[in-house]
Amino acid sequence: MSDDQSWKNELNIPKKDTRPQTEDVLNTKGNSFEDFYLKRELLMGIFEAGFEKPSPIQEEAIPVAIAGRDILARAKNGTGKTAAFVVPTLEKVKPGVNKIQALIMVPTRELALQTSQVVRTLGKHCGISCMVTTGGTNLKDDILRLNENVHILVGTPGRVLDLASRKLADLSDCSLFVMDEADKMLSRDFKTIIEQILIFLPKSHQSLLFSATFPITVKEFMVKHLHKPYEINLMEELTLKGITQYYAFVEEKQKLHCLNTLFSKLQINQAIIFCNSTNRVELLAKKITDLGYSCYYSHARMRQQERNKVFHEFRQGKVRTLVCSDLLTRGIDIQAVNVVINFDFPKTAETYLHRIGRSGRFGHLGLAINLINWNDRFNLYKIEQELGTEIAAIPATIDKSLYVAEDSSAVPVPFPIQQQPNPLQQQLPVQYQIPPQQFPVSGGPQQGMPPQMQPHFTAQPQF
Partner 1 sequence: MKGNFNNRRRDRGNNNSNGSFASGNGSSMGSDRSGNMSVNTGGFYETAETLKAFGDRFDYLLTNSIGSEVVATVSSAIKYSGLLVACNLDSTNGVDIILKYPKIVDSGFSDNIDELSDQLGETLLISGSDVAELEMKGVDFALDEKWDTLKKQELEDKQKRDKRNQGESANGVGYGNNSKNFKTDTDISRGRGDVKERELQKWTPDTGDEVPGISHQTLEESSTSWDQFTVNEEKFGVKSTYDEHLYTTKINKDDPHYEKRLKEAERLAKEIESQGTSGNIHLAEERGLTIDDSGMDEEDLYSGVDRRGNDLLASLKSNSKPSPSKAAVYVAPSLRNQPHHTDPAIISSTSSNKTTDKQVPVTKKIPKATSKISGTDDSLMTIPLDKNETGMNKENETPKSQISIQEESPNKHPNSKDAQIEELKKFAQKFKVPYDIPEDMQDILKSSTLKSDPSLPPKPLNGSNKSSLPPTPSNIRVDIRKNPGTSKMSSQANTPINSPSVGRASISTKRRGAGSFFGSKIPSADNKKKALFNTKFNMFIQSRESYDNSMKKLKDKDSESKSMEPFFIEKPYFTAPTWAGNSEQSYKTLFPDEVTALQKAQMNLQKRQMTNMNAAAAAAAANQQMGLVMGNMMRFPMGPGASPNIMSGMAAGNMGMYMPMQPQPMFYPSMPHMMSVMGGGEDGGRSPSPQTVSPHITPTYMNKGPTASSFGYPGAMPFQPMISGSNGNYRQNYHQGNHYNHNNNHNHHRNNHENH
* Nearby residues of 68 by Cβ (< 8 Å), 6 or more positions away: 206
Among 5, 9, 375, 426, binds partner 1 (CB under 8 A): 375
Query: Which of positions 444-463 make contact with partner 1 (CB under 8 A)?
Result: 447-448
Query: Which of positions 176-195 make contact with partner 1 (CB under 8 A)?
Result: 183-184, 187-190, 192-193, 195
Task: Give the integer Cα–Cα distance in Å for 191 and 173.
Answer: 22
Q: Nearest distance from residue 40's CB to partner 1, in Å?
A: 24
Q: Which region, judged by CB under 8 A, interacts with partner 1, from 40-48, 79-87, 246-254, 406-414?
A: 246-254
Task: Give the integer Cα–Cα distance in Å for 463 and 460.
Answer: 6
Specify whether the CB–CB gap between 387 and 352 falls below 8 A: yes
CA geometry: angle at 113 spanning 111 and 116, to 5°? Answer: 105
Among 301, 400, 445, 459, binds partner 1 (CB under 8 A): 301
Among 159, 225, 358, 361, binds partner 1 (CB under 8 A): 159
DSSP at 238: S
Of residues 15 and 265, the one with the C-beta less far from partner 1: 265
Query: Which of positions 68-97 make contact with partner 1 (CB under 8 A)?
Result: 72, 74
Among 236, 399, 429, 451, binds partner 1 (CB under 8 A): 236
Of residues 106 and 410, the one with the C-beta less far from partner 1: 106
Q: Tell me the C-alpha to C-alpha distance, in Å, between residue 160 and each of 104, 164, 167, 247, 363.
A: 10, 6, 10, 40, 33
Q: Does 319 bind partner 1 (CB under 8 A)?
A: yes
The rounded Cα 332 to chain-centroid distance in angstroms is 3
Query: Which of positions 115-134 make contact with partner 1 (CB under 8 A)?
Result: 116-117, 120, 129-134
Residues in contact with partner 1, shown as a per-residue x/- string from 333 to 362 under the rule CB under 8 A:
-----------xxxxxxxx-xxx-------
Q: Which region, judged by CB under 8 A, interacts with partner 1, from 7-15, 39-47, 107-115, 398-406?
A: 107-115
Of residues 173 and 290, the one with the C-beta less far from partner 1: 290
Q: Tell me the C-alpha to C-alpha distance, in Å, between residue 112 and each of 132, 312, 318, 379.
A: 7, 12, 21, 30
Q: Does 436 bind partner 1 (CB under 8 A)?
A: no
Q: Nearest distance from residue 403's CB to partner 1, in Å?
A: 19
Specify whether the CB–CB gap between 71 and 80 falls below 8 A: no
Q: Does 286 bind partner 1 (CB under 8 A)?
A: yes
The CA-based diameter of the chain, rounded to the nearest angstrom, is 66
Q: Does 401 bind partner 1 (CB under 8 A)?
A: no
C-alpha closest to that of 269 among 309, 317, 310, 328:
317
Q: Does 295 bind partner 1 (CB under 8 A)?
A: yes
* Nearby residues of 364 by Cβ (< 8 Å), 6 or more positions away: 17, 19, 20, 21, 22, 242, 335, 338, 405
Q: How many residues bind partner 1 (CB under 8 A)?
A: 164
Among 7, 11, 13, 27, binds partner 1 (CB under 8 A): 27
Q: Which region, judged by CB under 8 A, interacts with partner 1, from 2-10, 35-43, 324-332, 427-435?
A: 324-332
Element (H, E) at 237: none
Task: Give the integer Cα–Cα distance in Å for 38 and 457.
Answer: 40
C-alpha closest to that of 230 among 119, 65, 105, 371:
65
Q: Does 217 bind partner 1 (CB under 8 A)?
A: yes
Of residues 7 and 69, the one with the C-beta less far from partner 1: 69
Q: Does 52 bind partner 1 (CB under 8 A)?
A: no
Crossing angle (nearest 10°) for helices 81-92 and 109-122: 60
Q: Nearest distance from residue 113's CB to partner 1, in Å?
A: 5
Specify whether the CB–CB gap between 430 and 419 falls below 8 A: yes
Q: Nearest distance from residue 410's CB to partner 1, in Å?
A: 19
Q: Nearest distance from residue 381's CB to partner 1, in Å?
A: 5
Among 103, 176, 234, 271, binds partner 1 (CB under 8 A): 234
DSSP at 347: S
Q: Nearest distance from residue 417's CB to partner 1, in Å?
A: 5
